[in-house]
Structures are given as structure tokens and as C-alpha cells.
Amino acid sequence: MSTPARAPLPERAVDTTAENPWPVRLLSMKIGEYVEKMSVLWVEGQVVQLTRRPGARTAFLTLRDPDVDMSLSCSVHVNALDAMPGPLSEGARVVLQAKPSFWSQRGSLVMDARQIRPVGVGELLARLEYLKRHLGQEGLFDRDRKRPLPFLPRRIGLVCGRASAAEKDVVENTRRRWPSARFEIRQVAVQGTNAVAEVTAALAELDAHPEVDVVVIARGGGGVEDLLPFSNETMLRAVAAATTPVVSAIGHDVDTPLLDLVADHRASTPTDAAKAIVPDAVAERRGLEVARERGHRAVGGRLHHERRRLAELASRPVLADKGAFLRSQREVVEALRSRALHRVEAGLHRQRDRVDHLRAQARALSPQSTLDRGYAVVQQVGGGLVTDPADLAPDELLRVRVARGDFGVRVVGS
């Protein structure tokens, strides 16, 4: 019985399926063909591992990106290593000419190096100057973005080398100034290929700590190559993004890594960092004593001044004779009362005279006054006044009112 014929292998990776996959050898061959098409190129990195066996014609090294945790394996002929001006050591910055190749048996990518050149100090400084201008244009060095340091931090974050003199300088000088200072210390690599990653990770950890109010990044002095991690763009951006104030205490006065420009405060040395992060307890106590003495003198002087003013006030006649003020005020009250009584009585007299005048005027104008002068009022029986004799009828009875009474009369004739 014959077995069914197997379908041909797909030409492209996108055409593979679970039922018709590529074998490993074909995938390795395809990757190798693709990588083989790449041209010779120049690449820069940092040597983190170098293996050169005696008698071997090929050496192997690992080239790492100085900014991120990525690396490539490289093979290089020993003649290329011997052609370098000096021996190649781990941690050195180099540029090498290489051809990417894929080792299908191991399934690994290897750079076949043809030439290796060390990156000189002058070139490194030029690159640092370019990075400095670039970050300066972004505003990472601006003074207005720098945060003030706390007067007395609850905890001090310290990033330093393992068993380093910088750690001892910062801790001892800080506690000499403020004995109760507390630290959160992260010991990391401050030189070499892992320095950037470890310092950045330690900074992030301390920045997230709830009690750390300031972070000090400290290292002793060194050459330009030794201090390169502290001018690394990845580390600089991590410091700029931190929410906790950062103090740069790298090297000595002559060392100026770019971290000094990005940090919120630059300490010329690790010892100088202690002066920036905590106050001097002795000086503060002395200042308190001076302030207390000054306050005591000020309060004493004020009390003496007020006592003198009180004595001057008490020696015045008005206070020497305590009843004098009451007597003077009583006289004022009596005068006011007498003046008010006089005005009230004068007003009553004027109103009384006015009432008498009005009464006499009313009496002079009244009908009774007219009758008293001999006049009479003649009325008809119905009460109407007689003003015209023509209105009277013969024998009509009339009423005559005089000053002291009235009487009746009858009309005689017309």
C-alpha cells in the first residue's frame, strides 16, 4: 500500500500552516539567507566580555549598547585585536566593522568583526558636548525646573558603589551634621557596563519610596571613561523625570559629568553633599539660642518700656487723685443738666405766652365778644339769622340773643 504524497513545503513564511509547517533546517536556512544579504557595517558599543584562548586564531567578545540592556556576540580574528594601538579590555568603548552572519546549527546571530577601533577620549568628549547641547535645548538644564531640597528629609536615599569611600563620606559627614539622619542605601555598580542600568533602577526604587525626600547619587572621582555612565542619556532622562529632588555628588571639583547639570543640586564632592541635604545641628542649636536670647531681650525691653509708660501715666494728677476725674465729669453733667432745664423752662414760658396770645386773639374774634359790645343776634323761629327786614312778615315772632341771654319780639308793621 503506497503512502500519500506530502504537499510541497511553502515558499514563504506567511504560507505556513499547522498542517504544513517549515522544518527547523528550512527556517534556519531562510534566516541565514536573509542575514547574508546584509552588507558590512560599522557599529559602536561597549565590550562587556572578551574571550581569547591561547593559540586560537579567533577571539569572541560581547558588544553591549551603553544605553539599554541589549548585546550582540562578535567573533574577531586575533590579528584585528593585535592591530589595535593598545590591548582591548572589558568596559572599553569601541567601533567595529562587521558582517552579520547567522549560525544555522546554533540558531544564533554573530557579528563577524573585521576591524576594531577604540573610541578616543576626544571623540567621547565631542559626543558628550553634542548631547549637552541637545538636552540643553530640550530644557533639562533649566533652573526653573529644578526642585528645592527639603530642609530636613525624613529619609535620605543614597545610590553609591559597593563598599565605596563615597558612601562612607556621605553617611559619616551627614550624621556628623545631623546625628539622627536616616538612610536608604542602594549599592550598585558605578562603573562599567552595568552602571547605567543599576543606577537607574536604584533611582526609580528610591523615587517611589514614600519616606525618601531626597536622593543622592555619589561616586568618587575618576577618568573620563570611568564617569561616562553619569553622562549617559538614559540616566539623565531618568533623573529629570524623578519626582524626588536629586543631588549629584560625582567625583571632585574638576569632574563635571552631565548629571551635575540635570540634577536639582550639584555637590562638588560626596562630602559636600552632606552640607546640602541636612542642616548643621550645632549651627541650628546655636541659631536657636541666639534667637531665644534675642527674643528674651526684646520681650524684656518691651516690658521695661511698658512699665515706664505705666508709671508715667500713674504719676499724672488725674490718676494721683482718683476722684478728680469723677468730680470733673460730675460738674460737666451738672452743667449739662442745668442748661437742659433752663432751655426746657424757657421753652415752656414761650409756649405759655403763645397760648395766652392765641386765647386772647380767639376771645376777641369770638361772637360772644361782639355781643358784649352791645350787638344782638336776631333769629327766626326756625333758627335762621335775620339779615334783611324784607324777609320778615308782620306779627312774626323773632328771637333776639344779647350778651347775657335772649328774649322774643314780634314784628310790628313792615
What is the DSSP track for 28-83? HHHHHHHHHTSPPEEEEEEEEEEE--TT-SEEEEEEE-SSSS-EEEEEEEHHHHHT
Lay out the sheet containing 265-266: strands in order across: 183-187, 155-160, 212-219, 246-250, 265-266
Residues 38-119: name the CATH superfamily: Nucleic acid-binding proteins (2.40.50.140)
pTM: 0.55
- Res 199: pLDDT: 92
Place of cell 567625583: 251
Q: Where are the domains of the chain?
A: 38-119, 125-279, 368-410
Tell which residue, 79, 85, 41, has the closest CA to residue 58.
Answer: 79
- Res 255: pLDDT: 59
**Domain spanning 125-279, CATH architecture:** 3-Layer(aba) Sandwich (3.40)
- Res 252: pLDDT: 63
Positions in the chain whose pLDDT score sits under 50? 1
